[in-house]
Amino acid sequence: AQSVTQLGSHVSVSEGALVLLRCNYSSSVPPYLFWYVQYPNQGLQLLLKYTSAATLVKGINGFEAEFKKSETSFHLTKPSAHMSDAAEYFCAVSGGSGNTGKLIFGQGTTLQVKP
């Protein structure tokens, strides 16, 4: 069975500081991994996805994530936080048995950016 664990339900950083949101996955098959962001009262917006083409994945708004198979991790980073980055972030995995797009999400991490 697949699962995703996001370490830290709340992360607080100062504007201009490094953002690091942690995600670990469990999968018996090669995973496809996604990071989504959710702003208040909105749906989910894709930040980036990993599909085995490259271990370092660049996404929108300056975010990137590195796939580390040995650590079963897919942490999200951004060199310099902006106030507009304050939102909830979700890591997700797909690729279970069968041809399915079913996403399994982590519990989410709320990012607070302090001025």
- Decide if 89 contacts 63 (C-beta within 8 A): no
- Shortest Å distance, C-beta 101 to another protein: 5
- Shortest Å distance, C-beta 109 to another protein: 11
Determine if 62 is a binding residue for another protein (CB under 8 A).
Answer: no
Q: Tell me the residue ranges of DSSP E strands in 8-82.
A: 10-14, 19-26, 32-38, 44-50, 56-58, 64-68, 73-78
Determine if 22 is a binding residue for another protein (CB under 8 A).
Answer: no
Binding residues (CB under 8 A) for another protein: these are 32, 34, 36, 41-46, 49, 51, 90, 92, 94-96, 98-108
